[in-house]
Amino acid sequence: MTNINPDDFIAPRCDEEIEILFQDEHILLINKPTKLLSLSGKNPANLDSVHYRIRQIFPTALMIHRLDLGTSGIMVIALNKDISRLLNRQFSERQVNKTYTALLAGQLEQSHGKIELAIAKGEFPYQKICSDTGKAALTEYQCLGHEVFSHDSNKHKISRVQLKPHTGRTHQLRIHSQQLGHSIIGCDLYPNSNDCPDGNTELMANRLMLHATRLEFNHPISGERILATCDCPF
């Protein structure tokens, strides 16, 4: 992908529906489909989003966190301002644990490990690794197994991994996976030429193979520890 003006970016159309996994009078847990914005953009063509759709049903709903356009999976949404404040505090104090499943190009040699590389804002839409200007970023990974991935009659050796970000930097899991030497399949921004055809993992799948599978937090009213899960679609 070439650099573009963020105001010129048009998100692809998403016909998949948002699945509500749980709801009470305080929160929603949803399954966000891939290729749907978390928040509407400034460009009128980017009106469709999780926030826009949910507000049609729950007018007081407020977004607490985001998932990248291509990332699918579990999100928590507050149903009023007080709940939003309580949940935002948990995120800012790192009381929320997030787990993702990803398919990475190539075969990881290490069964588990940590990636600790600072991330800075690059030229849109990119982020970059930079120890001088970047913010601290830490990702824990565990290899769940090696597989063969088929796409367009081609077979590729891949790794299924569990990713646990301890920080929430933009594109953190994508760029940390690239730095590990194994880009996420379907990623158009941070490819790795050794593990994918023509140096572009976007060619290996029709979506980003990254899914938020688990979210752990305290219920903002009861205080009960919630372990919410969302099955991986790939």
Does residue 226 carry a pLDDT above 60? yes
> 77-87, pLDDT tens digit by residue?
999 999 999 99
> 1-39, pLDDT tens digit by residue?
455 676 788 999 999 999 999 999 999 999 999 999 999
Reported residue count of the chain is: 234
Give the tokens for residue 146: 């090696």
pLDDT of residue 201: 81
68 catalytic? Reply is: yes
Does residue 204 carry a pLDDT above 80? yes
With the C-alpha atoms ordered 199, 203, 204, 208, is the resulting torsion angle positive or negative? positive
| Average pLDDT of the segment spanning 52-61 | 98
Does residue 198 carry a pLDDT above 80? no
Rounded mean pLDDT of the chain?
94
The structure's pTM equals: 0.94
Four-CA torsion 36, 31, 189, 39, nearest 10 degrees? 40
Give the tokens for residue 167: 């920080």
Query: What CATH code would you report for 10-229?
Result: 3.30.2350.10
| Average pLDDT of the segment spanning 34-61 | 97
pLDDT of residue 203: 83
> 87-133, pLDDT tens digit by residue?
999 999 999 999 999 999 999 999 999 999 999 999 999 999 999 99
pLDDT of residue 63: 98
> 135-169, pLDDT tens digit by residue?
999 999 999 999 999 888 888 899 999 999 999 99
Question: What b/e sequence results for 29-45 when a residue is b if at least 16 CB atoms lie within 10 Å of its CB, and e otherwise?
Answer: bbbbbbbbbbebbeeee
| Average pLDDT of the segment spanning 160-189 | 95
- The Cα–Cα gap between 16 and 34 comes to 8
Q: Are 67 and 32 in contact (CB under 8 A)?
A: yes
Which entry of 24, 48, 68, 132 is annotated as an active-site residue? 68
**Phi then psi dihedrals of residue 46, to 5 deg:** -105, 35
